[in-house]
Amino acid sequence: MPAKEQRHQVWMKWSLIGATSFLTASACQHGKKTAPAPSQPQPIQSPAAKTVVFPKLPTPYPGVLQLTQLGENSQARFSADGTRLIFVSRMRSSHKHAQVYEMLLPQMTERRLTFHDGDDLDPVISHDGTRFYYASGTDELKEETVATERLMRNYYPQGLKKSAGSRSPQVPELLSEIYLQTSNGREIERLTESPGYDGEVDVEPKSGKYIVFTSTRDGQHNVYLADSRGRSVRRISTSKLTDRGARFSPDGKTLIWYRLLPDGKASQLLLAEGNLRQPREILSGAGTMIHPSWHPNGTDIVFSSNRDGKFFNLYSIDREGKCLKRLTTIEMDQTQPQVSPDGQRIVFTGKKGESQHLFAIDYKSDGPCLNSQPATASASPTPPPGPKPSATPVSPPTSPSTSPAPSETSTPEPAAEATPEA
């Protein structure tokens, strides 16, 4: 064999050996450095509430911390252990419509959870922290094209932009359905399929077996109960007025919601226990009261109202309606309050002018009671008040039927379809 060819073979042999050794060493070193990091935060397993220290972002309001900076943000809800906030954000550089975001506390890092062509609203984390519920118009955009376009024109008369001159704390109410999604977005399940609006969902916090939501499927806004997959729907409120925004108590045995009265300038807070057949009024009066939510002690209810002035401020009342307290005096609208699981903070949506962000304040309820007499009136417009229901767990939802009216101990049926309000 010629010397030149022998030298070439030896060079090729040592080149292959060197390359193999380098690749093997590199692989070993890579394996020793770090294990592959998960692409998504791990689901929350512990329901124990933790005290979260929020960083201080400057605001013009003493004692108020601003949590968001980009876009317009609203509808914040805590995870069960208080380490996450889930919320809605719109008017971002990457999208103008409402999408669901998650904020990790106290790092204050956020990530986008939904990527839809329709608005995603009313998110709430499941009781075990592995999924979240929300309302979305993404399918209604395709299924109810004409109706959706009409509603979009009404809300965005000059195109998709901010609505000028409106101080209403309500988000745009488009046609929507309720969905259940994993945090990594790999599993999305549609839970409702009805004409009109399904939204404002809340999940029973103890077992996660039931959800409560607002729907216009029977002609106007009413409160409905279903199992965790949106089946066996049962109508809870039967008023011809607007009933919405229901929330489960921390023990899952009681519901609180608000009812808008016909003039649109006043409302009531209603509470239903036991089999939920006899909701009772715990507060009414001047101004509009909206967005009630529970303190984790299961006794106090925090809500938003403009009863004492120009702006919506935050108030609390006990579940018997005996002691109303004002919690804030801030010159901006404060809506959608949510008390942290440790009971130490309130996160709310603050809006003044064109700015809308999430804020946090300490929960302080040491002020005087503004009322002296509890509200005991029944919320039913026609029958007299019945006996106070026992504090038993919420009755499981049942499928709609056409059987006769239920007795006092039976599960109530959905009411007949009502005429929409003018």
The winner for highest mean pLDDT among 139-148, 300-309, 392-401 is 300-309
Q: What is the pLDDT of residue 277?
A: 81
Q: What is the pLDDT of residue 32?
A: 36
Confidence (pTM): 0.73
Higher local confidence (pLDDT), 55 or 269: 269
Q: What is the pLDDT of residue 411?
A: 35
Q: Percentage of the chain with pLDDT > 70? A: 66
Q: What is the pLDDT of residue 23?
A: 38
For 79, phi and psi rounded to 5 degrees?
-75, 170
Q: What is the pLDDT of residue 390?
A: 40
Q: What is the pLDDT of residue 285?
A: 83
Examine the pLDDT at 304 and tell me if it is beyond 60: yes
Confidence tier at 205 by pLDDT (50, 70, 90): very high
Higher local confidence (pLDDT), 271 or 156: 271
Reading the block at residue 3, the tokens are 């010397």
Task: Lay out the sheet containing 210-215: strands in order across.
Answer: 198-203, 210-215, 222-227, 234-235
Full set of structural domains in the chain with CATH: 65-362 (2.120.10.30)
Q: What is the pLDDT of residue 56?
A: 58
Mean pLDDT of 388-392: 40
Q: What is the pLDDT of residue 365?
A: 85
Sequence-distant (6+) residues with CB within 8 A of 157 are none
Q: Is residue 47 classed exposed, middle or buried when 0-12, 13-18 and 19+ CB atoms within 10 A define those classes?
A: middle
Mean pLDDT of 290-301: 97
Q: What is the pLDDT of residue 409?
A: 33
Calculate ∠ Cα 114-117-123, nearest 5°.
Answer: 35
Mean pLDDT of 120-132: 96
pLDDT per residue as tens digits for the range 46-63: 344 556 566 656 677 888
Mean pLDDT of 244-256: 96
Higher local confidence (pLDDT), 233 or 381: 233
Q: Is residue 170 classed exposed, middle or buried when 0-12, 13-18 and 19+ CB atoms within 10 A define those classes?
A: exposed
